[in-house]
Amino acid sequence: MEVERAAETLYHVVLDISDNPELMAGHTTPGQFVQVRVGDSKPAFLAIASPPATSSGGSLEFLIKYVEGSTAGSLCDLRKGDTVELSQVLGNGFDIRQISPPEKYSTVFLFATGSGISPIRSLLESGLEASKRSDVTLYYGARNLQRMAYQERFKEWESSGVKIVPVLSQPDDDWTGERGYVQEAFARAKQIRNPLASGAALCGHKGMAEDVTSLLASVGVSKEKILKNF
């Protein structure tokens, strides 16, 4: 097990599951999750941040928001060699078939807030095929840059064909990028040229998910093409 700080309140946790091939085999689709328990703590559901291919290497990765006294907080406090209880991999994840083939669904919008970037990272690194699409844009919201995880992966994602739009609700004074909330930044962009060739995937705050879904549906994007992992 490895734990390292990924942002101000977020921790990147890697769990070794090399001795559990059945668990590894269950991780087949980005957006799946597991139930986790530490000792006698209340079980918590955590989305898997690593792409499915990583499970064949014997580990699952998570991005966890630290909350003192919670199961998540207990996970962040663990050290190498400690043990946790995991369920089998759960959920169907993002149904990528709904926005395939990439040549037909050439525009994909991704939306994440806070630790909701976890399953979006898995999707980005395991089968979205951004390079085969004409426009893939990630709107990623956080309070400030100090709370935005995976910034070290931005160049890799951009090189694969993804445009990244960070959106900060409480940025530093010198921030020149998008301010406010993800759904507001998306509404300002007004860039859906062909709704029938567009799809989306999202994970994060309930309000964001509801607002983004309404925005997309209002311009003609089918709700079947708006992917969610829960």
**Domains present along the chain, CATH in parentheses:** 2-86 (2.40.30.10), 96-228 (3.40.50.80)
Which residue in the block uniquely carries the two structure tokens 């300002």?
Answer: 188
Beta bridge partners of 113: 141
Backbone angles phi, psi at 84, to 5 degrees: -135, 160
Name the token pair of 204: 């994060």
Q: What is the pLDDT averaged over residues 73-82?
A: 82
**Residue 57 has what pLDDT?**
66
Picking from 109, 153, 94, 103, the residue whose alpha carbon sits closest to that of residue 129 is: 103
Element (H, E) at 121: helix 117-124
Binned at pLDDT 50, 70 and 90, residue 3 comes out as: confident
Sheet holding 44-47, edge to edge: 44-47, 33-37, 85-86
**Residue 26 has what pLDDT?**
93
Picking from 18, 100, 91, 92, the residue whose alpha carbon sits closest to that of residue 60 is: 18
Most confident of 7-21, 47-61, 75-89, 113-127: 113-127
Binned at pLDDT 50, 70 and 90, residue 144 comes out as: very high
Is the pLDDT reported for residue 55 higher than 60? no
**What's the pTM value of the predicted model, to 2 decimals?**
0.93
- Contact residues for 212 (Cβ-Cβ < 8 A; gap 6+): 111, 182, 183, 186, 200, 202, 226
